[in-house]
Structure 1
Amino acid sequence: MEILKKSRIILIPAYEPDYRLISYVKELHGHGLNEIVIVNDGSGPAFEKIFHTLEEMGCVILVHQLNRGKGMALKTGYHYIHDAYPDYACIITADSDGQHAAEDVYKMAKEAVNHPDGLILGERDFKTSGIPAKSLMGNRLTSAIFALFFGRYLPDTQTGLRAFGPRLTGLMWEILGERFEYETRVLIFCIRSKIPLIEVPIQTIYENENKGTHFHPIKDSFKIISVITSDFMKFISTSILCAAVDMGLAWVMFDLLRGIFTGADFIRIMTATAAARFVSIGVNYSLNKNLVFGNEHTGENSLYRYLALCAINMILSAISVYLLHTLLNMDEKIAKVICDVILFLFNYQLQSRWVFAIRGLKHEP
């Protein structure tokens, strides 16, 4: 296949496709989209005829001998395109089960060229009739949970029609994930590294109740939700651990300092509290940076941002408790619990997207 400059490459991961894929490729050709890379993700001998026909039509066929998952199929395609096409304009990923209209693929290609630094998402309209219940419920649930934890509502978090320019290719193959959950990890990575997400409306197509899909509504939805919530669960765990460190160390120092601050209980308690808090803040910072958000690209000032956030939290907590107590006559202890729970969620968002945000990555493969 002739490699043209500024090619718009269509990448299709395919596992046990039917003959609709052949018709789909013809439709793509009809829109001038002729550079098509298809990854046979371990489909087996029974599907060789389909892939042979696609190869005769000019498609590049890459083969996994065993099924390795959609994420790995996409990464195989990204590596091949990076090496084989020296000057491509963009990569458009599409599914093999007929869900993405050829005209929408063409639309995505144009948007990717216009936004070389962003990830273009084909957004289906789930308000239309005829959507399979499992697809509607899965997308609604994951969109709501994604918005809760990452502060961005995406109506179609599971869309397989995506596009991006060569500046992002090298980042895409480094993101963890092998199967359907990989695409969710890509969204999280883009949010945390401030890569623009551009949503483009596309047609909503479900043929034969979407029975051709290999997406398992229970198992794969659970994996996706686990990916979305995994950092938050680790965040809760480290917070509990550091609270125990703070309290335990303070209790120990209360007794150790009695001989030093005899008759000065206030100074003894303040000294123990401050020392314990200093240690717990250091432990919490280290755990959140290396374990929770697992990011070595936080920039040089993440510690200062973390300390600033700690100070903001203390001020907001005190003011909020005071206002609830004085204006609403709420018990101080109850007000403290309510305020600190809200601030805890606020804290997670800011640590993910500001304190430990991904910074300084090169967008060239």
Structure 2
Amino acid sequence: MDLPSVLIPAYKPDDKMLKLIEDLLELGFSRIMVVNDGSGSDYDACFARAETLGCRIVRHAVNMGKGRALKTGLNEAMLCGFSEPGVITADADGQHLPGDIRRVAQAMAENPNALVLGVRRFTGNVPLRNRMGNGITRGVFALVNGNGVMDTQTGLRGLPGKHLPLMLALKGERYEYEMNMLLEARPNDVQMVQVPIDTIYIEGNKSSHYHPFIDSVRIYSLILRYILSSIMAGVADYGVFALVHTRFPDPLIVSVVSARVISSLVNFLINRNIVFRQKGTMAHAAGRYYALVLFVMLASYGLIWTLSVPLGLNVYLSKVITDIFLSIFSFVIQREFVYSSSSRIKVFKNHKAEAGTAGR
């Protein structure tokens, strides 16, 4: 099997990175690239040793963040012939075992066009900030994206050569870059394959440069943009409904239809171009979308009438309740049907992951 290259972004590494490199060489990984992300002169000896072992060293003059270090490495891989059949990214802190990196390579060979993720199970002795951070992010990601990723923060990823130009074009300079990679997989029709790996935290993960608050704010700001863009269409819908219903209270269907016609156009354009980032033809999506609009319009009328007439609720309150329910329903249908892609996530079951800790 032609093994992929290995890319290690490193900021102030220690002997754990050198041990990983030695083990990878023993497993047959002959193309290893290390990006020195502005670690400073105190770490020159560590990088010099890596270079002596045969690694290709790329340097940042100052610390620029993990996302930038990954993109620098990917760019260099494309320029120097390290891009085929792909590139595996691995962390420098010893959390990724050489055997698990080898399993990611195997999954890449069996799924040559897929983004392969080495995912931890987060069981056993896992630091609280890692367990909670990944759990929350995983839940929000599944809600927004529709695909369940077991470990959204994993740094062990197999990137096929054909998708490297896409990876280079993604935004993000720090840890949000890795979230962008996951968010952009579905709209770009990139399948994801998950490989369970061992959960390893060395000395309580104190060597990690991930800052839970600062970097999580950057990550969640990306997800919130997806949610807030959908709310804009709801605001337009409610505004048109209120305006029309104030002037023409009867029949109710006039207000509902007017609101849906205007807001549907806003909703379609925002969701197609910003939320779901569909790459197909507009006509294909528009046909499905307006079939959904017709259904939602009739359902909206039926629910508002039921709540406001037989049940006696205020018509505006009825409108809010109806729209909350239908917005969730509509989001799921748009994600899975209107703007759906052929990309799906599957789990590579060649390895049973276990939790563990290690020390030096």
| TM category, shorter | 0.7 to 0.9
Q: Does 1:233 align with 2:216?
A: no
Structure 1 pair 336–277 and aligned structure 2 pair: CA distance change class (3 A): closer
Aligned pair 1:19/2:15, yes or no? yes
- Give the deviation of 1:137 after TM superposition: 0.9
Alpha-carbon shift at residue 317 of structure 1 (Å): 4.2
Report deviation, 1:50: 1.1
Structure (1 or 2) with the larger CA radius of gyration:
1
1:79 aligned partner: 75
Q: Which moved more, 1:234-243 or 1:293-302?
A: 293-302
Cα RMSD of the aligned pairs, angstroms, is 3.2
Are residues 123 and 284 of structure 1, via their aligned partners in 2, closer, same or farther at CA, if it must alter by over 3 Å?
closer
Give the alignment partner of residue 281 of structure 2, picking from 277, 299, 319. Answer: 299
Q: Which has the higher contact order (CA 8 A, sep 6+)?
A: 2
Answer whether contact 1:297 1:359 (CA < 8 A) is retained.
no
| Alpha-carbon spacing, 1:308–1:46, altered in 2? closer, same or farther (3 Å) | same
Report % sequence identity: 33
The answer for the alignment partner of 1:262 in structure 2 is: none
Per-residue CA deviation, residues 328-361 of structure 1 (Å, 9 max, x unaligned), is: x96666776444313212322343454345799x
* Residue 105 of structure 2 corresponds to residue 109 of structure 1: yes
Q: Distance in 2 between matches of 1:282 and 1:330?
A: 32
Query: Larger deviation: 154-163 or 77-86?
Result: 77-86
- Report the CA distance between 1:324 and its aligned residue: 8.9
* 1:321–1:284 Cα change, 3 Å: closer
SS of aligned partner of 1:192: coil
CA distance 1:38–1:350, change in 2 (3 Å): farther
Is contact 2:8–2:35 with CA below 8 Å preserved after alignment?
Answer: yes
State the aligned residue count. 340
User: Following the alignment from structure 2 to structure 1, what is the Cα–Cα distance between the partners of residues 319 and 254?
Assistant: 23
Q: Tell me: CA distance 1:213–1:107, structure 2 relative to 1, closer, same or farther (3 Å).
A: same
Amino acid at match of 2:220: I
Confirm or deny that 1:172 pairs with 2:167: yes
Q: CA, structure 1 residues 274+218, in 2 after alignment: closer, same or farther (shift >3 Å)?
A: closer
Query: Which ranges of structure 1 fall in alignment gaps of 5 or more residues?
Result: 256-264, 361-365
* Alignment equivalent of 2:45, drawn from 35, 46, 49: 49
Tell me how far apart the structure 2 counterparts of residues 192 and 310 of structure 1 sit (CA, whole Å).
22
In the aligned structure 2, how far is the partner of 1:112 from the partner of 1:358? 21
The structural deviation recorded for 1:145 is 1.4
* Residue in structure 1 matching 2:326, options 339, 343, 358: 343
Distance 1:194 1:83 in 2: 25
Matched residues in 2 for 1:190 and 1:34: separation? 28
TM-aligned CA distance change 1:294 to 1:340, over 3 Å: closer
C-alpha separation in 2, matches of 1:237 and 1:112: 40
Runs of 5+ unmatched residues, structure 2: 344-360
Taking structure 2 as the reference length, the TM-score comes to: 0.83
| CA-CA distance at 1:157 after TM superposition | 0.9
Q: CA deviation at 1:289?
A: 3.4
Q: Match for residue 287 of structure 1?
A: 270
Structure 2 equivalent of residue 9 of structure 1 = 5
Letter in 1 for 2:236: L
